[in-house]
């Protein structure tokens, strides 16, 4: 492999090619002869020249570039091993190892990296070497250890083989000890702040999502960037910093608060070597974790497949041209003859077939729900839809209203995001109104992924069949006003914003009194605690007034219709 040779003369190219013939003793940094060759070439071309050497002492790559632009073998090794290669390169202007050298050592997990100082006449000077240190090494502030420089004629004195063996053994031992203690994936969270007022709140919400999904959050990072980098969002320097932090915290998961495109996710994964997720994938995973009923499982699978389809990876354009033309005898065009569909195309076809099947199944479920809805309308029983931000306490409030302390009437109520995914209806009683149907709905969240909105649209549209909305707000959480506004925006998108609404400021017993009073004045909401049965009587009175107004309006409309009918007769 010979890289980055633009602008070189034939004689210089030949000298570079001769480097492949050099062999060094296995387990050594290099040889005096190789150091001289590199120094002479670097002095001649006035650029850095480097060779990548494997553990058998063979030169497998030659590059005219700095350490970051050097051509390395494309290998994916386990996290408890080093790459099996070290880099020996020459600095034409002299100097010790640069920051780029040390970053390359860490990110590529090299066995070692060495820089040869080039003297004015093209002779090798001091050789600077560094190697990695295991995570958590006492007394080491960086991810590497820089050795004292040695003269070029002593370059083969350092026993790299013994150092690598000891280092890999120590890394594996440390990793084994951490693995024995680790029962969950350890995650680093990244939220990009582009000047939003609620960036910190979004980061806290991302942490709550990660914990609900079962991850252990070991670090949260709020990154301010006015303009996002197209490929990596945060830039190469910040990714390097996050990789280093993951190395020391034994994190294997990097979660972004922004939605990542397929190319961005691949580029970030290639740069960090970590598992990459975005907020959308995290929410989809939580929905899949909590989906219980047939309908919610179908909807979650539909959303996951829609998200996955554009992110399928295949062999690229070279194989996508292959068609099922059965060879040249069948008359296929040149470049399209071959065995048939590629695996990528087969995967896409399977996903399309599964999408069609799920959509038909959900249509059948929607029809059955419509029949139940019409049955309730014939009984003329008022319907109240309980809406609100996820984990606001909607299910707990429903249980309190219907006195459903035990199964099977009790609705699942947990201190988790999206614990309830399917609409659940229970009959309750409100004084002055009589029997009412209370329906618990899917919890909302700001910037709900489009695929999930599409999948749950039929469920959300059932809200519009209610007579009154009961909007539950978690008054004890920071940013309650922002969460209330987020729910109102979703209701407006669905066309339900103008429906009669009663606001319940839940968890009032844990809320700040000043915040609670401000929110009560702003929203005309009623402070309650569903868990401790505080304020439920006042809330029922407000609901009775709202339902009564709706019923009186409907009665007036029917009377007006009868009068018009009588006039026509």
pLDDT 10s digits, 448-463:
777 777 666 666 766 7
CA distance 131 to 86: 9
**Whole-number pLDDT of residue 325:** 41
Question: Is pLDDT of 377 > 70?
Answer: no
| 3 state SS of 60 | strand
How would residue 176 be classed by pLDDT, with cut points 50, 70 and 90?
A: low
**Whole-number pLDDT of residue 217:** 92
Question: End-to-end CA distance of the chain, in Å?
Answer: 95
**Whole-number pLDDT of residue 149:** 94
Express each pLDDT in 260-271 by its tens digit.
888 888 888 888
Return the percentage of the chain with pLDDT > 70, whole number. 80
Return the percentage of the chain with pLDDT > 90, whole number. 20
Could you tell me which residues come within 8 angstroms of residue 281 by beta carbon, excluding any fewer than 6 positions away? 307
How would residue 273 be classed by pLDDT, with cut points 50, 70 and 90?
A: confident
How would residue 426 be classed by pLDDT, with cut points 50, 70 and 90?
A: confident
Question: Is pLDDT of 486 > 90?
Answer: no
**Whole-number pLDDT of residue 220:** 93
CA distance 433 to 429: 8
Residue-wise burial string across 167-184, b where 16 or more C-beta atoms lie within 10 A, e elsewhere: bbeebeebbeeeeeeeee
Would you mind telling me the total number of residues written for the chain in this entry?
569
**Whole-number pLDDT of residue 326:** 42
CA distance 68 to 48: 11
Residue-wise burial string across 431-459, b where 16 or more C-beta atoms lie within 10 A, e elsewhere: eebeebbbbbbbbbbbebbebbeebbebb
Q: Region 191-209: what's the mean pLDDT? A: 87
Express each pLDDT in 9-54 by its tens digit.
788 888 888 888 888 999 999 999 999 999 999 999 899 999 999 9
Question: Is pLDDT of 566 > 80?
Answer: no
Q: Write down the H helix ranges in 273-385.
A: 279-290, 294-308, 317-320, 343-379
CA distance 95 to 346: 55
CB atoms within 10 A of CB 359: 12
In the sheet where 186-193 sits, what is the strand order? 216-224, 186-193, 253-256, 275-278
Higher pLDDT, residue 481 or 507: 507
The residues that bridge with 502 in the sheet, in sequence order, are: 470
Question: Is pLDDT of 175 > 70?
Answer: no
**Whole-number pLDDT of residue 187:** 92
Question: Is pLDDT of 411 > 60?
Answer: no
**Whole-number pLDDT of residue 293:** 66
Q: How far is CA 368 from CA 303, 362, 382, in A?
A: 21, 10, 20
Q: How far is CA 305 from CA 348, 360, 439, in A?
A: 10, 15, 28
Cα dihedral across residues 211, 217, 222, 227: positive or negative: negative
| 3 state SS of 526 | strand
Q: Region 385-395: what's the mean pLDDT? A: 86
How would residue 318 be classed by pLDDT, with cut points 50, 70 and 90?
A: very low
Express each pLDDT in 331-361 by its tens digit.
444 334 444 445 667 777 788 888 888 888 8
Question: Residue 555 burial by CB count (10 A; 0-12/13-18/19+): exposed, middle or buried?
Answer: exposed
């Amino acid at each position: 492999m010979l890289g980055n040779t633009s602008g070189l003369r034939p004689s210089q190219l030949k000298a570079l090619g001769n480097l492949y013939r050099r062999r060094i003793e296995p387990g050594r940094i290099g040889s005096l002869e190789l150091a001289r060759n590199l120094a002479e070439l670097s002095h001649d071309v006035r650029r850095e020249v480097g060779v990548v050497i494997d553990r058998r002492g063979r030169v497998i790559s030659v590059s005219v570039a700095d350490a970051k632009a050097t051509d390395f073998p494309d290998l994916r090794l386990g996290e408890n091993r080093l790459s099996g290669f070290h880099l020996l390169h020459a600095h034409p202007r002299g100097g010790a190892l640069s920051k780029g050298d040390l970053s390359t050592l860490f990110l590529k997990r090299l066995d070692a990296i060495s820089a040869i100082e080039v003297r004015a006449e093209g002779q090798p000077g001091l050789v600077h070497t560094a190697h990695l240190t295991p995570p958590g090494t006492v007394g080491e502030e960086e991810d590497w250890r820089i050795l004292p420089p040695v003269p070029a004629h002593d370059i083969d004195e350092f026993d790299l083989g013994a150092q690598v063996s000891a280092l890999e053994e120590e890394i594996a031992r440390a990793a084994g000890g951490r693995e024995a203690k680790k029962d969950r994936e350890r995650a680093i969270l990244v939220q990009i702040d582009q000047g939003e007022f609620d960036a910190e709140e979004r980061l806290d919400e991302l942490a709550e999502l990660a914990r609900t999904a079962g991850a252990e959050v070991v670090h949260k990072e709020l990154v301010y960037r006015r303009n996002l980098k197209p490929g990596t969002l945060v830039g190469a320097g910040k990714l390097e910093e996050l990789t280093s932090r993951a190395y020391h915290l034994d994190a294997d998961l990097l979660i972004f608060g922004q939605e990542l495109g397929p190319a961005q996710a691949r580029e970030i994964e290639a740069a960090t070597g970590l598992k990459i997720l975005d907020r959308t994938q995290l929410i989809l995973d939580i929905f899949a974790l909590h989906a219980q009923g047939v309908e919610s499982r179908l909807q979650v699978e539909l959303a996951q497949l829609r998200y996955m389809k554009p992110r399928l990876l295949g062999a690229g354009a070279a194989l996508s041209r292959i068609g099922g033309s059965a060879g040249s005898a069948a008359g296929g065009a040149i470049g399209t003859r071959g065995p048939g569909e590629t695996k990528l195309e087969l995967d896409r076809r399977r996903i399309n077939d599964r999408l069609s099947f799920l959509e038909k199944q959900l249509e059948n479920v929607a029809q059955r729900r419509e029949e139940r809805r019409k049955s309730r309308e014939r009984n003329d029983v008022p319907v109240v839809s309980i809406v609100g931000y996820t984990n606001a306490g909607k299910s707990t409030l429903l249980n309190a209203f219907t006195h459903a302390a035990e199964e099977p009437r009790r609705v699942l109520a947990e201190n988790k995001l999206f614990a309830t995914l399917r609409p659940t209806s229970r009959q309750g009683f409100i004084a002055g109104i009589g029997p009412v149907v209370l329906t618990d709905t899917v919890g909302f969240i700001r910037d709900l992924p489009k695929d999930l909105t599409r999948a749950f649209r039929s469920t959300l549209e059932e809200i519009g069949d209610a007579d009154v909305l009961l909007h539950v707000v978690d008054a004890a959480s920071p940013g309650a006003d922002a969460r209330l506004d987020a729910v109102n925006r979703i209701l407006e998108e669905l066309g339900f914003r103008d429906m009669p609404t009663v606001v319940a400021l839940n968890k009032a017993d844990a809320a700040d009194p000043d915040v609670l009073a401000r929110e009560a004045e702003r929203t005309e909401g009623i402070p309650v605690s569903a868990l401790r049965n505080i304020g439920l009587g006042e809330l029922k009175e407000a609901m009775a007034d709202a339902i009564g107004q709706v019923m009186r309006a409907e009665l007036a409309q029917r009377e007006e219709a009868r009068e018009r009918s009588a006039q026509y007769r």
